[in-house]
Homo-oligomer: A and B are copies of this chain.
Amino acid sequence: MKRSELEESALLQDDCLVIECDLTVIKEPLVDETVEVQVPPSNLSDNIGNLLKTGEEADVAFRVKGEVFPAHKIVLAMRSPVFKAELYGPMKEHGGNDITLQDMQPAVFKALLHFIYTDSLPSMEDLDDDDDENKEMVKHLLVAADRYAIERLKMICEGILCKSLDVQSVATILALADQHQCSRLKDACVEFLSSNGMDDVVASQGYLDLKRACPAVLVDIFERVTKSRKI
């Protein structure tokens, strides 16, 4: 509207223009924005981890080459069918709640317990290829996981070993994979041999050991490598 139109119109009375506004204030409930209950993440595994850390209410003890590890039968049983059979089944181990393990190193059993209670390895998942000590631990853990039928731990160990294969170790790891029915790890070894050649491997100590201990496995491997090269 032009100024001239306005000045002539009836809207302007006594030199005043009255403007009427309807103002609607839309007020959201404040609750959601101002008061938010922050629920912390699940603490179930922390709770179980603490059981191991404190050893409180432990009802079984493992003696491993002089070291004693207290533990909770129900936790071991719920995580491993083998522990379940040994601790609760008709094959219950003699000696009740005081069990001696002959065929394991204390450090390995400690790592096994850590996995059982927390579902994770004790800070070695970022395994360095050069770190032979960690690699040895992973091999021992794979054996322990197989012994106690803890499938997830076995697969984690297989995964780590798959990624750390080299010319020096592949034959030894192949033997391990064969002995503990790790088909994925065995496949990885065969793939490694197909792509990197057998020459250096044949010179390794692991190969000599493997040839002496289970030559049948090597025959299988040679057949598979030869076949895959043809393709």
Chain A contacts to B: CB under 8 angstroms: 27-32, 34-40, 42-45, 47-48, 50-51, 56-57, 59, 72-75, 77-79, 88, 118-119, 152, 155-156, 158-159, 162-163, 165, 184-185, 187-188, 191-192, 194-196
Quickly give the copy total for this chain: 2
Q: In the assembled complex, which residues on chain B have CB atoms less than 8 Å from the CB atom of A152?
A: 39-40, 42-43
Cross-chain pairs A/B with CB under 8 angstroms, 11 sampled: A30-B191, A32-B162, A37-B159, A37-B162, A37-B184, A37-B188, A39-B159, A44-B48, A45-B45, A51-B74, A57-B73
Interface pair B187/A35, CB less than 8 Å apart: yes
Q: In the assembled complex, which residues on chain B have CB atoms less than 8 Å from the CB atom of A50?
A: 78
Give chain A's interface secondary structure class. helix
Q: In the assembled complex, which residues on chain B have CB atoms less than 8 Å from the CB atom of A56?
A: 77
Per the bound structure, the CA–CA distance linking A33 and B71 in Å amounts to: 40
The smallest beta-carbon distance between A152 and chain B, in angstroms, is 6
Q: In the assembled complex, which residues on chain B have CB atoms less than 8 Å from the CB atom of A194?
A: 30
CB < 8 Å neighbour of A78 from B51, B88, B192: B51
Interface pair A37/B155, CB less than 8 Å apart: yes
CB < 8 Å neighbour of A119 from B28, B31, B42, B155: B42
Which B-chain residue is minimally distant from A77 (CB atoms)? B57
Q: In the assembled complex, which residues on chain B have CB atoms less than 8 Å from the CB atom of A40?
A: 152, 155
Interface pair B195/A30, CB less than 8 Å apart: yes
Per the bound structure, the CA–CA distance linking A196 and B27 in Å amounts to: 9
Q: In the assembled complex, which residues on chain B have CB atoms less than 8 Å from the CB atom of A156?
A: 39
Interface pair A35/B77, CB less than 8 Å apart: no
